[in-house]
């Protein structure tokens, strides 16, 4: 198969979808890999390293789309790319369709095969291609939140760890999945007082067993959130419904319960956000203020730590890319149920229920189109 790896064009997105080590493995299996020039530089991989691994360097994204049966990215295609995507072409990347009707309709119109990293799902319900970036984003949420709590950035001037004789800051994490657990671990490690909320009692029991003593696990509901917000210095939105729009759990009126200069980091912004006042921001302009509360809603947080993120991501994606390259998407999906769940759109037909529901589109089962 001819595989193309594109340079990311989202603002301050420095990750790349394949490393030279991945290229070497693909070439060893008889595949041809094309890399858009400088695609790996933001992650520490120059063109020379890709050439040494057996790749061919290509000058423009159009050439990649024209040449390749499968193209790989990290972030969703942007509008300038829509017309480049060909009918029948596999596009393997993070799509987060439920957050963008424009993107969804563009991919439907392209009649390509859209395979979303974020909806690949194993039999036990885990999301192996979302997990590594969720780990990074959860940890970054505390790092960024702690920074913007500084008075220099308009925050309250609170040090999350506190010092002897001074109380630590309070962190409220809404969602006890991968993002939330990693955020809570980081906050606990800094010495903050941490509340970790989830609506699954079994998950809370597990978290109670494994989390540090300065983490307090609570059932998530509107009453609990309202009770904790006045105490919170930092709130992390870490809610995920795979492939679907995140619910608004912190409403506009709830902001009035928080102290001025408190921080909200909404990691769920990729799926629309779980805070009503959240809107996507960029690494260039990451924060804005609503009712005195600073919002950090960068939609590609892991892109800021690209060397770590690229290695973590490609460790997970390469085995699935290899299945697609070796077997094609039809046989790959029939033989690997986890990969099948990643297929969101085929030839203009929506095959993922959450995406269809988000925009009132017709849903067709994957079995009917394979």
My answer on whether 192 and 154 are in the same domain is yes
Catalytic site residue 336? no
pLDDT at 157: 98
Same domain, 140 and 281: yes
343 phi and psi angles, rounded to 5 deg: -80, 110
Looking at residue 11, its pLDDT comes to: 87
| Together in a domain, 185 and 292 | yes
Question: Closest Cα to residue 200, out of 243, 240, 142?
Answer: 240
Looking at residue 242, what is its pLDDT? 81
Cα angle for residues 363, 356, 62 (degrees, 5° grid): 100
Which listed residue (270, 295, 336, 338) is catalytic? 270
96 shares a domain with 155: no
Residue 155 shares a structural domain with residue 292: yes
Residue 8: the pLDDT is: 97
Domain's final residue, options 260, 280, 299: 299
Q: Return the C-alpha torsion angle 72, 76, 79, 81, nearest 10.
A: 0
Residue 153 CB-half CA count within 13 A: 20
Other Cβ atoms less than 10 A from the Cβ of 361: the count is 17
Q: What is the CATH number of the domain that holds 99?
A: 3.40.50.720
Does 270 qualify as catalytic in the annotation? yes
- Catalytic pick from 31, 96, 295, 336? 96
Does 312 reside within a domain?
Answer: yes
SS3 236: strand
Q: Does residue 149 contact residue 265 with C-beta atoms inside 8 Å? A: no
Please answer whether residues 359 and 346 qualify as being in contact, where contact means their C-beta atoms are separated by less than 8 angstroms.
no
Domain residue limits at 115? 2-120+306-369
Q: Locate tokens 């529901």: which residue?
A: 357
Confirm whether 295 is domain-assigned: yes
Do the domain assignments include residue 252?
yes
- Taking alpha carbons only, the member of 89, 111, 108, 116 closest to residue 1 is 89
DSSP string for 34-99 = EEETTTTGGGT--HHHHHHHT-EEES-HHHHHHH-SEEE-SSPPPHHHHTTPPTT-EEEE---GGG
pLDDT along the chain (370 residues), means of 10: 97 95 98 98 98 98 98 97 98 94 97 97 95 97 98 97 98 97 98 98 97 98 98 96 88 97 96 95 96 96 96 98 98 97 97 94 95
């Amino acid at each position: 198969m001819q595989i193309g790896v594109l340079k990311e064009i989202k603002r301050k997105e420095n990750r790349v979808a394949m490393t030279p080590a991945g290229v070497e493995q693909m070439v060893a299996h008889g595949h041809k890999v094309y890399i858009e020039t400088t695609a790996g530089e933001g992650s520490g991989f120059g063109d020379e390293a890709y050439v040494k691994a057996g790749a061919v360097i290509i000058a423009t994204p159009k050439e990649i789309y024209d040449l390749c049966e499968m193209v790989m990215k990290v972030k969703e295609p942007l509008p300038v790319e829509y017309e480049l995507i060909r009918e029948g072409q596999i596009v393997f990347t993070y799509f987060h369709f439920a957050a963008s009707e424009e993107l969804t309709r563009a991919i439907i119109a392209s009649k390509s095969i859209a395979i979303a990293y974020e909806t690949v799902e194993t039999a036990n319900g885990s999301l192996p291609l979302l997990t590594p970036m969720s780990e990074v984003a959860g940890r970054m949420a505390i790092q960024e939140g702690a920074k913007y709590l500084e008075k220099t950035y308009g925050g309250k001037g609170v040090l999350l760890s506190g010092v002897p004789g001074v109380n630590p800051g309070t962190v409220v994490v809404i969602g006890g999945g991968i993002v939330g657990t990693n955020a809570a671990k980081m906050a606990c490690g800094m010495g903050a007082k941490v509340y970790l909320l989830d609506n699954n009692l079994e998950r809370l029991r597990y978290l109670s067993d494994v989390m540090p003593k300065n983490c307090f696990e609570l059932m998530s509901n509107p009453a609990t959130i309202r009770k904790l917000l006045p105490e919170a210095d930092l709130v992390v939105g870490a809610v995920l419904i795979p492939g679907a729009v995140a619910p608004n759990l912190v409403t506009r009126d709830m902001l009035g319960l928080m102290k001025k200069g408190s921080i909200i980091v909404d990691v769920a912004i990729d799926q629309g956000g779980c805070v009503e006042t959240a809107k996507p921001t960029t690494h260039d302009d990451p924060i804005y203020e609503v009712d005195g509360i600073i919002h950090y809603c960068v939609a590609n947080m892991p892109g800021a730590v690209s060397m770590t993120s690229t290695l973590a991501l490609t460790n997970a994606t390469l085995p699935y890319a290899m299945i697609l390259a070796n077997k094609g998407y039809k046989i790959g999906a029939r033989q690997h149920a986890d990969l099948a769940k990643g297929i969101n759109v085929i030839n203009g037909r929506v095959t993922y229920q959450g995406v269809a529901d988000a925009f009132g589109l017709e849903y067709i089962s994957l079995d009917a189109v394979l």
